[in-house]
A and B are shown apart, each in its own frame.
Chain A
Amino acid sequence: MAVKAKHQRLVLVVIALVAILGAGALAAWALRSQASYFYVPSEIAAKPPEPDRAVRLGGMVERGSLKTEADGVTIAFVVGDGKARVPVRFKGITPSLFVEGSGVVAEGRMGADGTFNADNLLAKHDERYVPREMKDMTAAQARETVKETQ
């Protein structure tokens, strides 16, 4: 009899766990667009936000696109995700990890001319950790080196 009660408890707990995990997965699935911290350029291109709505735009700063304007404090660059590109303008101090070819999250509003006017920039670090000595290699080269030396 003792064994039976134990099995009954086990089955009950497992059923409850499966139900809870299912509910959690459903909630996470329902949140998949809302819980994202930013939109990528292809989402902005497919469904442009209203001009006055504050949104975050995230992607890679395209190489060679970063320019400082005549006033010396306004910068302009292009954020891309491989499918779409959005020009961005920002006036202010950039975080130290903000460089061309790296990830960025810009907070601001979409302008009428299709330019994203950022009020704030956050630099996004990726999952690769490369020593400074390997800095001059391109990302692909560095990845190769890391792979070879492992």
Chain B
Amino acid sequence: MHGFANPARFLRIARWLTPLLLLSGIVLSAGSLAWGLWRAPAESLQGETVRILFIHVPTAWLGMAGWSAIAVASLVELVWRHPLAGIAARASALPGAVYTAMCLISGSLWGRPAWGTWWVWDGRLTSMLVLLFLYFGYMALAQASENAGQSRVAAIFGLVGAVNIPIIHYSVLWWNSLHQPPSISVGNSAMAPDFLIPLLVATVGFSLIFGGVVLTRMRTILADAQAEARLRRKAQATEGQA
């Protein structure tokens, strides 16, 4: 793993991997969303509003996966002091927050026609809103640190916040909630293949875009640190001359 500790090596791989992830992600997402919008059938009870599913479920999954990435990277940062881990965690926060917000908005738009309400304070919706606020808190903490990608407080916060992830998942099973229980579990689906297949493709596409955005942001953070170090060296050199 420490083979990737060398930023130059990481940058060499990221340079060609970033456009690859972004391009394939955009193609898969656009294709599956178009399929979901025009080719997928209307659902028996929900009718046409079922099409919101193809945005809602992938963004929900990535909102949760984003925080899981932050938690794992924070663990690696705290224990192994891996120089890229902290940067990866910081880079995952904004796309994770955007996906979580998209999940909440699309869910609200679906809830109005399906349930008859924009919002209820049931276990699933509340814990997902908490996740969005955790993202905000994490970004504020990470920004408050002097050194980009090296803040122990943010890393600890990233680990503690991971408690919310199983709560989100089990909220619909532990407590009576308005939100339905999961349709898809490992090797099992209560969803007709007409919906399931475009949904899975959209999830893969959204995940690839997420990966591409994280790599782009990691490169930005590294370039920022590099530019700052160069400026500092320059300032010291001119001071020395004077």
Contacts and interface: CB of A to CB of B under 8 A. Distances in A.
A133 B160 CA distance: 47
B191 A129 contact: yes
Given A95-B115, A96-B113, A128 B191 contact: yes
B45 A102 contact: yes
A35 interface: yes
The range of chain A's interface size is 35 or more
Contacts of A21: 163, 166
Contact of A10 (B79, B121, B183): B79
Interface stretch (B7-15, B46-54, B94-102, B222-230): B46-54
Q: Which of B45, B53, B177, B178 has the most CB of A within 10 A?
A: B45
Given A131-B192, A132-B44, A134-B192, A125 B75 contact: no
A9 B121 CA distance: 39
A130 B53 CA distance: 13
A71 interface: no
Interface in B100-122: 113-117, 120-122
B78 A129 contact: no
A129 B183 contact: yes
B37 to A, nearest CB: 15
A20 interface: yes
B159 interface: yes
Nearest to B185: A127
A143 interface: yes
A58 B123 CA distance: 15
Given A129-B183, A149-B193, A97 B46 contact: yes
Interface in B185-215: 189-196
Interface stretch (A36-44, A45-53, A61-69): A36-44
Nearest to A133: B41
Contacts of A6: 79-81
A132 B43 contact: yes
Interface in A1-47: 6, 9-10, 13, 16-17, 20-21, 23-24, 28, 31-32, 35-40
A6 B120 CA distance: 45
